[in-house]
Chains A and B, each alone.
Chain A
């Protein structure tokens, strides 16, 4: 069986994961280990008027009790936001100061105020309870709309009215004109519900300080260890980069929440220096709910205009984005450049305007979560399209077809240049696989059983592999978004790939091996993948935004190009042939048309023995590449959901789900299907089950699985998955990315299906039985009045 591109190879990493032999941060045990437990604010907004540590300091096993004044006094910098966004009047965003340990004010429930370092976790926990913090409670605001009202509690002195930025994109006058000329305008208020990321492994850090070398090592749950090192070094002044090693070993899921550098990691590093002990911290689930950056939380008012033929004439969007109490690392980019640049959806829309206000509230920071801005955009556009079709009495698929972009490249009015796609083809494929023609019969059959059956579409598009670096830099990004790879061919011919991508569930050890196997005709067992350690890997920007295929693998290809060039030269020299005649296949390097060949490992050996290399050639066979993409990639697809609603109770079941995705080239269909399954489950979670709720006092009501509902196996259907393919012209493998599509495309399909079933378009996520039942009551009322 082939193990190259397109093969359903079983995941190499799963033996260790399924037999309990994975090695996660909390599994790391080092000499001299101490434990950190944080003292957290129980108030959503309060002045800290005093901290009495004396009782805690005297307790058994306590090594130190440290607070924010000590931390800032030692020169540890405030947390940063890595993307500068400007308001429409040109002013920079108003960034509120965020110290890893709060010094004078706590701004959300869970804000870290002090840390206890003790010999055991138990002792640290006991002592943390004995730290007495005096708070003077301040008024609280938790939602973005209330935070903007006059008289709302002021959260940061330098952000008047809690407004961080008031950003815009597109042409307002053109959008207004398009709407004025429209024959029909659809208007909606749409809430994109706030989500908690819930990776299976909670965040964790082990910080080790070597006083002789003045060197730090940090094991941590990171999706991007080099970025962590860069930020810790350049901004938090923990240590210069060459004195700081960051290792992200096996990581049990991230979904975005492990991109950021949090107060806990910074504090552990500093505390390890301060106490001379290795310091470990692992979040418990309650802390994860309270302190992991949440996702989404938009309130949007939008209007979309159509002409007589259903062509979109204008689209105007007003969004409030809840940023939480502080700006997390990419919190400014997520609701702006990652969101509003996709307001064109799959449609040819000439006139678009978007306004986004970033707003502070007394809640945990909000940042990128699987999809990051793109689910919010696709939910908005696809809810608008479906609702507009219903209002105009048109078939929702037909309305989409009339507006699809048909030729590429296509420049939208909101920055993006779509490079390739087949939107009508995706829709055809999904409609066929979902047997849309048979839906009326299925609906009638369901009605016999007393169930309301509905069908909903979602024609989503997203942008992956944020790039190129110069372009994102011009939009405010503080980093470049390229990737690096090193290909090491060993003397025996086996290969190690050092990649800056990071695998925390994606299966890179398998898929990255497959592209090497394909290129050199080697078994994947002969390839290993090294990642997640700044001392081993040259550099890397990490894994998020579905970039590991499009960007990470491209870097590997570029490095393999260099290896191949050298291999050809060595073989041509040894075999006394012309370089042009050298072919590489099935693990051998041959002279075409002859029986002369070197086996792959013989080339490796030749490179390292260096007994017979071309004149002037350096020994060794190891090449590095840094790859900067030319553009984003644009995965797109069509999802069709069918649901059945029990009208008596509002209980809704997803009974059929069809996905037709265009991910470009697929390396391993099994892994790609797994990504779609997981993403769709998350999408169903957002649409029907999940939602973070803070009460008016800023207390987290959904602080455990008793109240925060994650999808379980019986909440999700069997999925039908199809693949369309237009090759991405922007990278050597033609890959678009598949990691987030499910989470992006699914929610609108589900809500469109439920609203179809119940005959009421006014339904916000999560569509719990309570909400569906309530919407059913509202839908029934006007009918009863007729």
Chain B
């Protein structure tokens, strides 16, 4: 790690100002991505502006059929929150699959979404459940938020405050972990929402998380595993690496979608 200055922001304005004043600053949440890259000297911010102390950044609130999760809420909190489980259990089921206990007790939903790793789990939840990313400046619908590998609609210095999720009728997340890293080799979130079925796929796309339209169309005829028989995902545009070929990923998306729909009940 190179030398870096640490700031603890007390408010959004404070954070934005600290970042603006820095030569090459970065926001810090759980550090589970950022600190690791800094230790490997792949990132070298001059300043770290810690967002976790800002009022309202942590916590889960349920408001009828909608849930709002503060950006600095840890994966462990999401995994174990009883109020959340009563409304959108798939979020708890997904969060408990992230990393290991140490990672889950430090890493945050906002950090994961700002980072937008193509193999991360939360992007599938936000896209699949049609969530809304709430920043210090605006609200960004899921379909407009993810822009590619490690790229999002966030502007320079924009801070994710929270994420809001509408309650789906039913939903399930199926993760096929990369054997080595245990990030998603393929992760599929299927949701039966008020606006029709949504199928979001993480881990597989060359441009990051995406909606599997062919599968959504198939499910429009009825939210059941049977509807997915014969539906397939094209391997074009899927990632190939030492762990999985594009064809294998395409196949897994189909398998996981069927299993997800069955699990969603």
Interfacial residues, chain A to chain B (CB-CB below 8 A): 125-126, 129, 286, 648-649, 689, 693, 701-702, 705-710, 768-770, 773-774
Interfacial residues, chain B to chain A (CB-CB below 8 A): 2, 40-41, 176, 179-181, 183, 242-245, 248, 251-252, 255
Q: Is the CB of B242 within 8 A of A701?
A: yes
> In the complex, A707→B241 CA distance in Å?
10
With a cutoff of 8 Å between Cβ atoms, the chain B residues found around residue A774 in the complex are 248
Known contacts A286-B40, A649-B255; A709/B180 CB under 8 A: yes
Q: Is the CB of B180 within 8 A of A773?
A: no
23 contacts between A and B (CB under 8 A): A125-B41, A129-B41, A649-B252, A649-B255, A689-B179, A701-B242, A702-B180, A705-B180, A706-B183, A707-B242, A707-B243, A709-B180, A768-B179, A768-B243, A769-B176, A769-B179, A770-B243, A770-B244, A770-B245, A770-B248, A773-B248, A773-B251, A774-B248
Known: A129-B41, A706-B180, A768-B243. 12 other contacts (CB 8 A): A649-B255, A689-B180, A693-B242, A701-B242, A702-B180, A707-B181, A707-B243, A709-B179, A710-B180, A769-B179, A770-B245, A770-B248
The CB with the most chain B CB atoms within 10 A, among A129, A701, A773, is that of A773
Q: Is the CB of B243 within 8 A of A705?
A: no
> In the complex, A299→B251 CA distance in Å?
30
With a cutoff of 8 Å between Cβ atoms, the chain B residues found around residue A702 in the complex are 180, 242
> In the complex, A125→B40 CA distance in Å?
11
State how many angstroms separate the Cβ of B263 from the closest Cβ of chain A: 14
With a cutoff of 8 Å between Cβ atoms, the chain B residues found around residue A708 in the complex are 180
> In the complex, A413→B99 CA distance in Å?
52
Q: Is the CB of B181 within 8 A of A705?
A: yes
Write the chain A residue with the least CB distance to B255: A648
Known contacts A768-B243, A770-B243; A649/B180 CB under 8 A: no
> In the complex, A126→B41 CA distance in Å?
10
State how many angstroms separate the Cβ of B33 from the closest Cβ of chain A: 12
> In the complex, A723→B186 CA distance in Å?
43
State how many angstroms separate the Cβ of B262 from the closest Cβ of chain A: 12
> In the complex, A769→B179 CA distance in Å?
9
> In the complex, A774→B249 CA distance in Å?
12
With a cutoff of 8 Å between Cβ atoms, the chain B residues found around residue A707 in the complex are 180-181, 242-243
State how many angstroms separate the Cβ of A211 from the closest Cβ of chain B: 35
With a cutoff of 8 Å between Cβ atoms, the chain B residues found around residue A768 in the complex are 179, 243
State how many angstroms separate the Cβ of A776 from the closest Cβ of chain B: 11
> In the complex, A126→B245 CA distance in Å?
39
With a cutoff of 8 Å between Cβ atoms, the chain B residues found around residue A693 in the complex are 242
With a cutoff of 8 Å between Cβ atoms, the chain B residues found around residue A689 in the complex are 179-180
With a cutoff of 8 Å between Cβ atoms, the chain A residues found around residue B41 in the complex are 125, 129
With a cutoff of 8 Å between Cβ atoms, the chain B residues found around residue A286 in the complex are 40
The CB with the most chain B CB atoms within 10 A, among A126, A708, A768, is that of A768
State how many angstroms separate the Cβ of A343 from the closest Cβ of chain B: 31
State how many angstroms separate the Cβ of A290 from the closest Cβ of chain B: 13
> In the complex, A689→B248 CA distance in Å?
17
State how many angstroms separate the Cβ of A694 from the closest Cβ of chain B: 11
Write the chain A residue with the least CB distance to B1: A122
State how many angstroms separate the Cβ of A124 from the closest Cβ of chain B: 13
Write the chain A residue with the least CB distance to B3: A122
The CB with the most chain A CB atoms within 10 A, among B242, B245, B251, is that of B242
> In the complex, A705→B255 CA distance in Å?
27
State how many angstroms separate the Cβ of B26 from the closest Cβ of chain A: 20
> In the complex, A175→B241 CA distance in Å?
42
> In the complex, A768→B243 CA distance in Å?
8
> In the complex, A649→B252 CA distance in Å?
7
With a cutoff of 8 Å between Cβ atoms, the chain B residues found around residue A129 in the complex are 41
With a cutoff of 8 Å between Cβ atoms, the chain A residues found around residue B248 in the complex are 770, 773-774
> In the complex, A773→B245 CA distance in Å?
11
Write the chain B residue with the least CB distance to A650: B248
Q: Which 6 residue pairs spanning A and B have beta carbons closest together?
A: A709-B180, A706-B181, A709-B179, A648-B255, A693-B242, A707-B180
> In the complex, A709→B180 CA distance in Å?
4
With a cutoff of 8 Å between Cβ atoms, the chain A residues found around residue B176 in the complex are 649, 769
> In the complex, A256→B179 CA distance in Å?
25
> In the complex, A689→B2 CA distance in Å?
34
> In the complex, A406→B31 CA distance in Å?
62
State how many angstroms separate the Cβ of B1 from the closest Cβ of chain A: 8
With a cutoff of 8 Å between Cβ atoms, the chain B residues found around residue A706 in the complex are 180-181, 183
> In the complex, A709→B242 CA distance in Å?
11
With a cutoff of 8 Å between Cβ atoms, the chain B residues found around residue A648 in the complex are 255
With a cutoff of 8 Å between Cβ atoms, the chain A residues found around residue B40 in the complex are 286
> In the complex, A693→B179 CA distance in Å?
15
With a cutoff of 8 Å between Cβ atoms, the chain A residues found around residue B251 in the complex are 773
The CB with the most chain B CB atoms within 10 A, among A709, A770, A774, is that of A770
With a cutoff of 8 Å between Cβ atoms, the chain A residues found around residue B245 in the complex are 770
> In the complex, A707→B183 CA distance in Å?
11
Write the chain B residue with the least CB distance to A286: B40
With a cutoff of 8 Å between Cβ atoms, the chain A residues found around residue B244 in the complex are 770
Write the chain A residue with the least CB distance to B185: A769
Write the chain A residue with the least CB distance to B119: A706
Write the chain B residue with the least CB distance to A701: B242
The CB with the most chain B CB atoms within 10 A, among A126, A129, A649, A774, is that of A649
Write the chain B residue with the least CB distance to A688: B179
With a cutoff of 8 Å between Cβ atoms, the chain B residues found around residue A705 in the complex are 180-181
> In the complex, A771→B245 CA distance in Å?
10
State how many angstroms separate the Cβ of A286 from the closest Cβ of chain B: 7
With a cutoff of 8 Å between Cβ atoms, the chain A residues found around residue B181 in the complex are 705-707
State how many angstroms separate the Cβ of A653 from the closest Cβ of chain B: 12
With a cutoff of 8 Å between Cβ atoms, the chain A residues found around residue B242 in the complex are 693, 701-702, 707
State how many angstroms separate the Cβ of B108 from the closest Cβ of chain A: 20
With a cutoff of 8 Å between Cβ atoms, the chain B residues found around residue A773 in the complex are 248, 251
State how many angstroms separate the Cβ of A130 from the closest Cβ of chain B: 13
State how many angstroms separate the Cβ of A697 from the closest Cβ of chain B: 15
Write the chain B residue with the least CB distance to A774: B248
With a cutoff of 8 Å between Cβ atoms, the chain B residues found around residue A769 in the complex are 176, 179
> In the complex, A769→B181 CA distance in Å?
14
> In the complex, A286→B181 CA distance in Å?
15
> In the complex, A648→B176 CA distance in Å?
12
Write the chain A residue with the least CB distance to B180: A709
With a cutoff of 8 Å between Cβ atoms, the chain B residues found around residue A709 in the complex are 179-180
> In the complex, A702→B180 CA distance in Å?
10
State how many angstroms separate the Cβ of B81 from the closest Cβ of chain A: 25
With a cutoff of 8 Å between Cβ atoms, the chain B residues found around residue A701 in the complex are 242
> In the complex, A769→B242 CA distance in Å?
12
Write the chain B residue with the least CB distance to A285: B40
State how many angstroms separate the Cβ of B151 from the closest Cβ of chain A: 20
> In the complex, A83→B41 CA distance in Å?
40
Write the chain B residue with the least CB distance to A710: B180
With a cutoff of 8 Å between Cβ atoms, the chain A residues found around residue B243 in the complex are 707, 768, 770
